[in-house]
Amino acid sequence: MQDEQSLDSAANTIDWRVEVEHRRNDLLEDLKGLLRIPSVKDEQTMGQGHPMGREIGRALNYMLELSQQAGFRTKNLDGYVGYAEFGDARNERHIAVLCHLDVVPAGEGWTSPPFEPTIREGKLFARGAIDDKGPTMASFYALRLLQELNLQTKSNIRLIFGTDEENTHLCMEHYKKLEKLPAIGFAPDAEFPIVHAEKGQINTKIVMKPSEERETAGDEGFSLLTFHAGGIANMVPDTAQAVIRGEQQALSSLAEAFQSFFASRKRACHANIDTAVSQVTLTVNGVSAHGMEPEKGVNAGLELIHFLRGASFQSDADRYVACLDTYLFEDCLGQRLGAAYEDDISGPLTINSGIMQFEVDGEAFFHINLRFPVTDHEDRILAKIAEATANYGFAIEPPNIKKPHHVDRNHPMIHRMQRIYAEETQLEPALLTTGGGTYAAHIPSGVAFGPLFPGQESTAHQRDEYMVVDDILTATVIYARAMYELANLEE
């Protein structure tokens, strides 16, 4: 067996940065090709061989074709997931690098088209640039580098391409039915240095039970016809809209109050009164952010709800508005729900309400995307939420639960990765935790490893998403060294 000293000697004969720099143009061109594929989950085009939609299937085929051309063994597991493997085909030992090819919807307001990758001021802009296609291509080129340098490893290295990371991880569930996952590995899908703990997640829909009484307008003559905000549970909604019916004079007063209210809060808003049907449409803009960091965004839905709390509507609408305003407005820690909790490993519980809907003749509900610390438990949290929301006649639908994940800071894999990171960046290799969920949680000793470097802006799930080109290359260097050294660790 190679010891650490002999590994260091082998690694020191290679100028990893020079090797990666030689491949810069090829890496960027292959990455641009991947970024041009709008690989958003699409129920309309789901089918055999592409169960997450045609474009995600195209992205998977793209990476498997590149892998075959590079000389790796490849396998496509029914379109759910695929992999490229480096090493001796007779070797049953392997480590895993877990990437994903699906992206969240692009949304509006991009400076350049989201699926036409563009480099400006050293940054590569496109949906998926940093989450997770840039890191995926960095990992692929890191593995290709080991292949081209003819390096030998004790364990094989398997680069796994998932297709449903942004939703329910069906791809990894399918993988685990057909293939054995190793004990160690990493997901290049968070931030550097090393994320060794991931919060648990609760995703659920909380539905309001309709009143059995006949609905009448509120004291001011207003009826809330519709309220909508957001469309993705794990994103802070940046737009919200309410349609309200009432007398013309009352609507004009409401519109004036609306404009004044949001001017004081410095929020973009718009009121449009349609005199023909005696109704007003109120629109509010907020700031989108990833659902794991709701405090970094401005939830347009809850901003509008807070304004609507000052008006009087029919009873069901009043209950809906009151519940959301009471328990969610300006409280992403779950304090007013009674669910707040914090530990020293992973920090506080957080809640994002990414989808909200009220329809006067339809369903009224809101989604929550909740991240809880590794020492907390979902049963405690759900009991608190159920008790609170029942006060307004809401009920929780069966939730989707992701358990917390934690790798001890003294694991040999973590020590090795810390050393590599420190040597390549001259930065402190601190251990981090995240509210995000990565594929790393699917393997016993999996961690998230990059790609966002300290001090860099996080643009995942936002308009004008980008990754710094030099950071893509540095990540490739780090990943190449990590793959090589982890694949030579003692079991």
Q: Is the peptide bond before 274 cis (omega within 30 degrees of 0)?
A: no
Which of 332, 334, 366, 356 lies closest to 284 in space, CA to CA?
356
Task: Name residues whose C-beta falls within 8 Å of residue 127's C-beta, 6 or more positions apart in sequence.
Answer: 35, 38, 103, 104, 106, 114, 115, 465
Q: What is the pLDDT of residue 310?
A: 92
Dihedral of alpha carbons 92, 95, 100, 101, sign: negative
Per the structure block, which two tokens stand in for 65? 């074709």
Per the structure block, which two tokens stand in for 486? 């982890």
Alpha helices (H) in 70-181, listed in sequence order: 133-148, 170-178
pLDDT, mean of each 10-residue run, the chain (491 residues) = 53 88 98 98 96 98 98 98 96 96 95 98 98 97 97 96 94 96 95 95 95 63 94 93 94 94 89 87 93 93 96 94 98 97 94 97 96 96 98 97 92 96 97 88 95 94 95 98 94 61
Of 30, 85, 102, 325, catalytic: 102
Which of 358, 304, 353 lies closest to 332 in space, CA to CA?
353
Other Cβ atoms within 10 Å of 281 Cβ, number: 16
Q: What is the pLDDT of residue 5?
A: 55
Q: What is the pLDDT of residue 6?
A: 56
Q: Where are the beta strands (DSSP E) in 121-219?
A: 123-125, 156-162, 184-187, 190-191, 194-198, 200-208
- Whole-number Å distance between alpha carbons of 160 and 81: 7
3-state secondary structure of 491: coil
Please state which CATH number belongs to domain 201-402.
3.30.70.360
Q: What is the pLDDT of residue 1?
A: 40
- Whole-number Å distance between alpha carbons of 121 and 336: 44
Q: What is the pLDDT of residue 348?
A: 95
- Residue-by-residue DSSP string for 341-357: -EETTTEE-EEE---EE
Among left, alpha and beta (phi > 0; psi -120 to 50; other), residue 264 is alpha
Of 165, 293, 303, 471, catalytic: 165
DSSP character at residue 389: H
What is the pTM for the complete model shown? Answer: 0.77
Annotation marks residue 359 as catalytic: no
Q: Phi and psi at residue 378, in whole multiples of 5°?
A: -65, -30
Q: What is the pLDDT of residue 216?
A: 60
- Whole-number Å distance between alpha carbons of 211 and 227: 18
Half-sphere exposure (Cβ direction) of 336: Cα atoms closer than 13 Å: 14
Annotation marks residue 331 as catalytic: no
Q: What is the pLDDT of residue 2?
A: 47
Domain segments of the chain: what residues?
A: 4-199+405-486, 201-402
3-state secondary structure of 248: helix
Q: Where are the beta strands (DSSP E) in 384-464?
A: 394-396, 400-402, 405-406, 431-434, 445-448, 451-452
Cα distances (angstroms) measured from residue 387 to each of 336, 339, 390, 409, 433: 12, 10, 5, 37, 30
Q: What CATH architecture is 4-199+405-486?
A: 3-Layer(aba) Sandwich (3.40)
Per the structure block, which two tokens stand in for 457? 């802006």
